[in-house]
Amino acid sequence: MRVIRRILGFVVVLVVVLALFALGAVFLLPGERIARIAADQIEARTGRALTISGDTSVSFYPNLGVETGPVQLANADWSGNGPMFQAQALKIGVDVRALIGGDIRITTLEATEPRILLEKTADGRANWDLFGTLSASDPSPAPTGAEAPAPRGFGLERAMLSGAALRYVDPATQTDTLVQGVDLDLRLPDYNGPADLDMVLHPAGEAVTLTGHIERFADLVNGAVSATRLALVAPGGEAHFDGSFGLTPEAQGALRLNLADTSRFLAALGNPGVALPQGLGQSAQFTGQMTFAEGRVSLRGGRVTLDDNALDVSADVALGDVPQVTARLVTGTLDLSGLGTTAPAASGGATGAGGAPAEGWSRAPIDASALALFNGDVSLKADVVNLGVTQLSGVDTLISVDRARAVADIRSLSAFGGALSGQVVANNRAGLSVAANLGITGVDLARLLRETAGITRFTGAADGRVDLLATGNSMAAWMSSLSGTGTLSTGQGTIAGIDLDKLFRTGAANGGTTIFDQTSASFLIADGVLRNNDLSMKLASIQATGKGTVDLGGRAIDYLFTPTLLRTGEQNISVPVRIKGPWASPRIIPDLEQALQSNFDINKGDVKKEAQDKLRKEVQDKLGVQQQQGESSEDAIRRGIEEKLRGSLKGLFK
């Protein structure tokens, strides 16, 4: 911020020289002669040539005024980037009565379309060191011996820059920044008193307004801190600061943000393309205490609202191209159900993009650009996290972000009525991918299946492990690309809507509940298709197995479920059932070929015809089927199985 002090020093020198020389010669010399004398004196004091072109006019009492045409101040001799300062016109007015008393009170200072170039060399020399006696680190002028004593007072009733352009060049930091369209209105009645500032900038095209009140301007310019109020208003939101501020820079005080549209606000400040998901700050508010010093920001006692989510926050941020953040967030309920919100569907068809069913997974884009906003560690504690498809509770996790890759280590978390542990990764370095390596203990099977797959018939407590990976920028892409492995096991549970034991013992299929003792299964997922070959379910007198595929991306199933009636001293009876079709309405088809193969196997000679006939008759009796004229016993059994199972199993996977 020594830049500001140098600019102010330059302005003061310019005004003093113009005022003193104009006062002594105003009745004797024309304006052009006064301008030349002023230019010569400024060059003598600074070593920089001041060129004043066009007409120069002078006004008299009570205000001494000098108005020029184009003005140009040369740059340092080591620079090749053109003048340090130039303007199309310059107007300065000085209170004559104050000047006679030894004070400088500027009534008017206006520059039209000024162009200000501030630059440094690689070894630290700065072009704003106008007097040649200031080091790069010394903010105060050195004594000049024969210099005239400073005026007793200095005041600036109003200084105005219109359509200014400011360029800053620093090769040491590879910085070359140009800000155009700057309007400045500064009011400083007393140099040792308060100053008021109004500034309009256009860092990205739209107007951004900065207003401020500095309680003691001299303290600020001399390197101390001053009580300060600042307000930044831009399209999409505003920011307010009330505390102390110094040009080091440093600040400490209350910070308040109110962003109705965060993306638009950031774009107006020169950070376009930031699209935050619903729940993570499409609109945002913040109140808290801020401390800023040596490029670090600390927030304490903060309260942030991201859309409908309110969190207590404390944070430390090291500023840079990518800020380094250490933060702690605590909340009651965190609603993230909007992360995969479906955009309104276009009319004219029953399918979404790419021909997917309208009731399929959401194709709404998931924007993960927020992962590149910072690096660092964020701890999150929440009573409840609503993910839309389910709710998590007792959340305690540490999220580490490094170059657009976030890793969430789960310290504690309850989901589906059980406990979850492990790690979740979101990587947006080269396209978005998500991975999960999780263990589950004591999960409520009913909640798990209902909230993830819409299946409502099963109950029980489950343990398991999954190691999954998905890629893409939508839920539909994730489910279609899903790959990984997993295991699942349960203790005692139930299947509502069908009593398999009663069905096999009496042939009755009118509802009821199946009670099973245990189940186990493992699975492999590739390209969004789950394959399982080892489902095992044990009931009191029935053992069931299963194998097949579940198309997670297409929300379809093709699965062979085979319950077997265990009979002591007699042949067991198996009735395989194929469940096939979309999840919303799968077809339940008894696989009679497999049933006949398992139970009768008439193609083999190891079962006598009498035993086969007896078994056929027994199955028909159990099913309550009468063999019709022209119908084989196999066809009768097939018809009986279909009739009995169709109603009972139809809703099994709903």
Asked if 352 and 364 touch (Cβ cutoff 8 Å), the reply is no
Lowest mean pLDDT segment, chosen from 179-183, 340-344, 496-500: 340-344
Helix (H, G, I), strand (E, B) or coil at 449: helix
Residues 2-47 have pLDDT tens digits of 444 545 555 555 555 545 444 444 444 455 665 666 667 667 767 8
Residues 254-259 have a mean pLDDT of 95
Stronger pLDDT, 637 or 340, i.e. the higher one:
637
- pLDDT score for 487: 95
β-pair partners for 441 = 419
Please tell me what DSSP assigns to residue 652.
T
What kind and span of H or E run contains 379?
strand 375-386
List Cβ<8 Å contacts ≥24 apart for 161-166: 161/110, 161/111, 161/114, 162/110, 162/111, 162/112, 162/113, 163/112, 163/113, 163/114, 164/111, 164/113, 164/114, 164/115, 164/116, 165/113, 165/114, 165/115, 165/116, 166/116, 166/118
Residues 639-653 have pLDDT tens digits of 665 555 555 555 555
- pLDDT score for 390: 82
- pLDDT score for 477: 94
Lowest mean pLDDT segment, chosen from 42-56, 68-82, 331-345, 534-548: 331-345
- Whether residue 145 is predicted with pLDDT greater than 50 in this model: the reply is no
Helix (H, G, I), strand (E, B) or coil at 76: coil
- Whether residue 527 is predicted with pLDDT greater than 90 in this model: the reply is yes
Residues 370-415 have pLDDT tens digits of 889 899 999 999 999 988 878 889 999 999 999 999 999 999 999 8
- pLDDT score for 148: 40
- pLDDT score for 173: 74
- pLDDT score for 143: 42
Residues 580-629 have pLDDT tens digits of 899 877 887 766 556 555 555 544 444 445 555 655 665 555 555 666 66
Distance CA 247, CA 426 (A): 40
Residues 274-279 have a mean pLDDT of 81
Nearest alpha-carbon partner for 97 in 107, 87, 85, 110: 107
Average pLDDT, the chain: 78
Of the chain, the percentage scoring pLDDT greater than 90 comes to 32
Asked if 91 and 113 touch (Cβ cutoff 8 Å), the reply is no
Residues 128-140 have pLDDT tens digits of 776 543 333 344 4
Q: Of 205-214, 269-278, 346-355, which has the strongest mean pLDDT?
A: 205-214
- Whether residue 514 is predicted with pLDDT greater than 70 in this model: the reply is yes
Nearest alpha-carbon partner for 76 in 111, 118, 123: 118
- Whether residue 210 is predicted with pLDDT greater than 80 in this model: the reply is yes
Residues 91-102 have a mean pLDDT of 70
- pLDDT score for 570: 60
Residues 534-568 have pLDDT tens digits of 999 887 777 889 999 999 999 999 999 888 877 65
**Domain regions of the chain by residue span:** 1-136+152-191, 432-649
Lowest mean pLDDT segment, chosen from 153-167, 411-425, 460-474, 534-548: 153-167
List Cβ<8 Å contacts ≥24 apart for 268-272: 268/203, 268/204, 268/206, 268/208, 268/234, 268/235, 268/236, 269/203, 269/204, 269/208, 269/234, 270/203, 270/204, 272/204
- Reported pTM: 0.65
- Whether residue 454 is predicted with pLDDT greater than 80 in this model: the reply is no
- pLDDT score for 63: 63
- Whether residue 513 is predicted with pLDDT greater than 80 in this model: the reply is no
- pLDDT score for 517: 86
- pLDDT score for 209: 95
